[in-house]
Amino acid sequence: MEGSTACVAIIRNKQLIVANAGDSRCVISRKGQAYNLSKDHKPELELVKDRILKAGGFIQVGRIKGSLNLARAIGDAEFKQDKTLPAEQQIVELCDDDEFLVLACDGIW
């Protein structure tokens, strides 16, 4: 019944595809400036909150059912009722100004 977050980056040719679940994040450095390539899945986000409520859940103190503080995860089966929801992903074109990519969990940030 345990779960985890994840952040994955795939580089193919000059295309970067980033996908995340939960609050693990991906940031790219471009000309010394950091840019977020992922977005935390938190229960208080309006669209996420609406999905949780429609699925029969509730949010208490910023947590689903007063327990889980993120709205997407790998595992955490007790919180998953609707398996038809599409995955989120971002696509970014890499350029010569890109220096490095950082993928880390919320504990590292």
Identify whether 109 is part of a domain. no
Global pTM reads: 0.63
What is residue 32's predicted lDDT score, i.e. its pLDDT? 93
Q: Which residues are CB-neighbours of 97 under 8 A, at least 6 positions away? A: 30, 31
Spatial separation of the C-alpha atoms in residues 76 and 44, rounded to whole Å = 18
Is residue 1's pLDDT more than 80? no
Both structure tokens of 83: 């398996």
Closest CA to 67 of 49, 43, 84, 48: 43
Identify whether 34 is part of a domain. yes
Domain that holds residue 93: 3-42+73-104
Identify whether 28 is part of a domain. yes
Closest CA to 9 of 43, 35, 38: 38
Identify whether 29 is part of a domain. yes
Identify whether 57 is part of a domain. no
pLDDT in tens, 43-64: 888 877 888 888 888 888 888 8
Paired sense of beta strands 74-75 and 3-4, if any:
antiparallel
Q: Which residues are CB-neighbours of 66 under 8 A, at least 6 positions away? A: 58, 60
Identify whether 84 is part of a domain. yes
